[in-house]
Amino acid sequence: MFELEKAIRDWKKSLFRSQNMEEPDIAELESHIRDEIDRLLKEGLDEATAFQKAVKDTESFESLEAEYGKVRRLRFYGSAWNPARLLPAFAWSHLKIAVRKMKKQKAYSFINTVGLALGMTVSFLIFFWVHDELGTNRFHENADLLFRVNKKYQIGSETQYNSSTPYALARAARENCAEVIDATGFQRIRALISFSDKEDSVFYENRVCLVDSSFFKVFTFPSIEGDPEKAMAEPGAIVLTESTAHKYFGTEDPLGKILTLDHEKDFVVKGVIEDIPPDSDIRFDLFVPISSMIDPESLSSWGDHYPSTFVLLQDGSVSVELEKKLSGLIQEQLPKEQISLVLQPLGDIHLYSSDGSEEGMKFVRIFSIVAIFILVIACINYINLSTARSERRAKEVGLRKAVGARRMQIAWQFFLESVLFTLIALGISLLLIHMLGGVFHDLTGKTIAFTDLLSPGFLLGILLITVFTGLAAGVYPALVMSSFKPVRALRNGFDRAGKKASFRKTLVVIQVSLSIILLVGMGGIEKQLRYIRARDHGFNKHGVLFMRMNGELQKNYEAFRNELLQNPDVAAVARTFQPPGEMSAITRGIRWQGMEPGDSVAFGYIPVDYDTLDLLGIKIVQGRKFSREFPADESNFILNEKAIEAMNLKDPIGKPFSLNEDSTGTIIGVVKDFHSLPLNFGLEPVVLLLDADFYSLVLIRIRPGDRREAISGIEAAWKKFSTGFPFEYHFLDELFELDYGPEILAGKIFRTLALIAIFISCLGLLGLSAFLAEQKTKEIGIRKTLGASALRVVLLLTKQFFLWVLLANVIAWPIAYFALRNWLNNYPFRMTLGLPLFLLAAAAALVVTMFTVSFQAVKAALANPADSLRYE
């Protein structure tokens, strides 16, 4: 039985095998032979004969193919090169088609690829940052076995943690605990470095480390010259980092050279180590044996807590028994304090504080989430635009199905296109990463080396992200488009059934929601920062600078001060121990009248002189300040309100007060609370006293006006009274800015990310609105000819976006609210989370969306209706 349809199908199949003919050509031929068959049937022939005749008309397959081939090759500059030989015909033709489609729709392709590339770039960079943060400090050989010893102690009802431990701890831990293979304690100090043979070379070094002989055994800091390990067992030896050695000695060999610390002690350079890598929190430039700088009595004491102590454990596990054993060591020595010791892994130090709470880890989490947000936004755009473009090709799909292309082929086609796009986006993004290396460094202090990009972890990450994106974006169009009913698709372009529309709606809403959340986050961080900055510390922080005291200045202090006070720019001069707002010295063992046994209060220890309180504007609320008229003041004390409260003392003035077993003095005044510690730590009880042993800083308050003039005046005075020391100063308010470093940085980064997310969203909206405008071209044309104004047309097109933005807000606000509230809980002082912030973000999102979308709307509204109606 001859079956016409089957015969035609078989005939088509044979044509499919051709490399030069594509579906449209085959369809055209099919239509042709069907017309011919119709004619022959009308003339009276039977189907079989009609078919034979019609097909014979197309002569031999090869020559037909050859003719088509000649036309094809016109594209390749008339050469006979047939690239089909390079790849299997199947994939190559699909690839050709994909490239052709892309060239046809340059604008869409550009927007789509760039949007995706941006999203990928940002996520890659964040991924890189996260990876780096998580790996900080892990480069040491013994990283898994190293733990920091943290102190846990009670002050009244509060539990506090810090990492300042007794000098004697490291040795005691090593000797008394079997699990501890080795232990080291080290302490940061500042020192003045000078050289006997180079008069004018003087350096203030901030990062000098006092170490014991185990330091270089326990930590991995590769040496370049000499033997640092051995060196730190020799008193009088010093080890430098490569750059420091270079800074001091240029190209000369540093070994054996002598340098002087604080104009007092000489040290011989016995080793040079490699510069400390950027991913290390332990960061110093010079290393000196602790025994050379701290006297033996202090070294064996348990009362002074300055160094950090690390232990190297047998196996990397911390047992409760071990912690108990260690705690026992300190409790034995300081029975009156409620102190215990806990261990913290080296790898956690960068991201978690000593009490185990998340510090940097917070940001790692937040930025990871933001990265995912941005990637999702980019993918959403990509999917949206891909499907939008696909709709235009509905006719093509219908055509091919009519011609007999199998669904898999069509799906595969779309899929391949998606992969092609994703790969191109990947290429662009890698290029962008390379170009943005500098910006990245500014924001994070990290550098991206090319080798980092090639590391297996990173490559895997990139691959995953790319594949995920390609799949996500390609699967939907591939499956949906290939399932069209061909005839329906051809007839009216695309069945805009509710299902497809709501999918797109959902995507846009999600995207705008994410952007809003980021906007709110950005606004929230900025607001909190401004709030913290504006908070009153309780003392004058503006116009106050401080300088380090030195031996010469100490001798000449009065003269120096008098000279300065002659300067009209200078308002006050005084001395203290540490910068206000950073006063971290505490003391225990305090006694007062009416103290209960078991009472133990840690006081902030604040040495001042007669002028300090006035300079800082700290107010007396009871009693009086220190005065030269009362020589007994040298052993008297002033407390703050918090201290009185902690001691439960009524009528404190005149009551006895002592710091330790030996001396007793009287409380002569109470000051209003001020922030001796950074704001985050809240207020503490403090004791102020005249302790000339600890006048390490000179404070100077200058009058409002030109800072530079005042400074040059001060420098002149300095040069007169302190010649052997470099003139260095810092402003208090600038110092506090450093405290906010993490927040400022987070704010900067969040701002950048929010803007990028919005930009990507705009790209997506642009493409989407263009597509929708095109879809409605016919409708618009008709309306315009019926007299609709341009404004109406614009409204018609933008109306739906307005609703989408509204919906996005409804979704975004609760999420943003909870996230922000969560973050703010970390700060003892926080701004109020008010409505204006959210409204502002919503307004911003609305304005940006409408602005972007209106481009296309206006263009469509102003277009000539005749154009849109012509092709019907």
Partner 1 sequence: MIEKALVAASTKPIILSILIRGEDYGYQIIQKVKDISGGSLEWSDKMLYPVLHRMEKEGFLVSQWKMSDGGRLRRYYRITEKGHRELDFERRQWQSVTKALDTLWKPLPSLD
Which residues are at the interface with partner 1 (CB under 8 A)? 24-25, 27-29, 31-36, 57-59, 63-64, 67-68, 70-71, 74-75, 395, 399, 402, 487, 490-491, 871
Task: Considering the complex, state which of residue 27 and residue 815 has its C-beta at the smaller distance from partner 1.
Answer: 27
Smaller CB distance to partner 1: residue 399 or 850? 399
d(CA 744, CA 737): 9
Name the token pair of 671.
């000051």
Angle between helices 557-566 and 707-721 (to 10 degrees): 150
Kindly state the smallest distance separating residue 451's Cβ from partner 1, in Å: 49
Q: Which CB, 492 or 584, lies closer to partner 1?
A: 492
Q: Which is nearer to partner 1, 27 or 480 (CB)?
A: 27
Q: How far is CA 164 from the centre of its chain?
A: 28
Closest to partner 1 by CB, 410 or 796: 410
Q: Which is nearer to partner 1, 29 or 517 (by Cβ)? A: 29
Q: Distance between CA 503 and CA 768 in Å, rounded?
A: 13
Nearer to partner 1, 27 or 424 (CB): 27
The nearer residue to partner 1, 399 or 831, going by C-beta atoms, is 399
Residue tagged 């330790």 (tokens): 660
E runs forming strands in 330-381: 339-345
- Complex with partner 1: residue 78 or 335, whichever CB lies closer: 78
Q: Least distance (Å) from partner 1 to the CB of residue 72?
A: 9
Sign of the C-alpha dihedral, residues 230, 235, 236, 241?
positive
Q: In whole angstroms, what is the distance from residue 757 CA to residue 16 CA?
A: 46
- Of residues 36 and 495, the one with the C-beta less far from partner 1: 36
At its nearest, how many Å lie between partner 1 and the CB of residue 811? 43
Name the amino acid, one letter, at 98: A
CA distance 788 to 791: 8
In whole angstroms, give the CA distance from residue 608 to residue 696.
10
Q: In terms of CB distance, is 100 or 230 closer to partner 1?
A: 100
Closest distance to partner 1 from the beta carbon of 490 (Å): 6
SS3 for 142-168, per residue?
CHHHEEEEEEEEEECCEEEEECCCECC
Quote the least distance from Cβ 454 to partner 1, whole Å.
Answer: 45
Q: Which is nearer to partner 1, 130 or 490 (CB)?
A: 490
Tell me the closest approach of the beta carbon of residue 27 to partner 1, in angstroms.
6
Closest separation between CB of residue 113 and partner 1, Å? 27
Provide, rounded to whole angstroms, the least separation between the CB of residue 37 and partner 1: 11
CB of 106 to partner 1, least distance (A): 19
CB-based contacts of 871, cutoff 8 Å, min separation 6: none
Q: Which two tokens stand for residue 355?
A: 């009490």
Q: Looking at beta carbons only, is 36 or 733 nearer to partner 1? A: 36
Amino acid at position 163, single letter: S
CA–CA gap between residue 436 and residue 444 (Å, rounded): 12
Which CB, 57 or 734, lies closer to partner 1?
A: 57
Helix, strand or coil, per DSSP, at residue 327: helix
Minimum CB–partner distance for residue 23 and partner 1 (Å) = 11
Residue 861 · residue 790 · CB < 8 Å: yes
Question: DSSP class of residue 305?
Answer: B
Which is nearer to partner 1, 26 or 169 (by Cβ)?
A: 26
Yes or no: say if 271 and 226 are a contact pair by the CB < 8 Å rule.
yes
Is 796 within 8 Å of 780 (Cβ atoms)?
yes
Supply the minimum distance, in Å, between the C-beta of residue 406 and partner 1: 18
User: How many Cα atoms are found within 13 Å in the side-chain-facing hemisphere of 520?
Assistant: 27
Contact predicate 209/186, CB 8 Å? yes
Pairing type for strands 591-592 and 656-658 reads: antiparallel
Q: Which is nearer to partner 1, 69 or 678 (CB)?
A: 69
Of the CA atoms within 13 Å of residue 518, those in its CB half-sphere come to 30
Q: 763, 99, 92: which is closest to 420 by C-alpha?
A: 99
Residues whose CB falls within 8 Å of the CB of residue 213, separated by 6 or more in sequence, listed in order = 229, 232, 233, 289
In the 8-state DSSP scheme, what is residue 683?
A: -
Count of alpha carbons within 13 angstroms of residue 36, beta-carbon side: 18
Strands 158-162 and 146-155, sheet pairing: antiparallel
Q: Nearest distance from residue 75's CB to partner 1, in Å? A: 8
- Give the shortest CB-11-to-partner 1 separation in angstroms: 13
CB of 496 to partner 1, least distance (A): 19
Output Rg (C-alpha) for the chain, integer angstroms: 38
For residue 52, what are the contacts with CB-CB under 8 A and spacing of at least 6? none
Could you tell me the smallest distance in angstroms from the CB atom of residue 485 to partner 1?
A: 13
The full 3-state SS of 620-682, as one line of letters, equals EEEECCCCCCCHHHHHCEEEEHHHHHHHCCCCCCCCEEECCCCCCEEEEEEECCCCCCCHHHC
In the complex, what is the shortest distance from the CB of residue 393 to partner 1, in angstroms, rounded to a whole number? Answer: 12
DSSP string, 61-84: HHHHHHHHHHHHHGGGTT----GG
Hey, what are 107's tokens? 């604008």
The smaller minimum CB distance to partner 1, of residues 29 and 796, is found at 29
CB of 44 to partner 1, least distance (A): 18
Closer CB to partner 1, 3 or 28, in the complex:
28
Q: Which of 182, 198, 214, 318 is nearest to 247 (CA)?
A: 198
In angstroms, rounded to a whole number, what is the distance separating the alpha carbons of residues 669 and 688?
10
CA angle 733, 739, 743 (to 5 degrees): 115
Closest contact distance (angstroms) between CB of 747 and partner 1 is 56
**What CA–CA distance (Å, rounded) separates 507 from 20?**
40
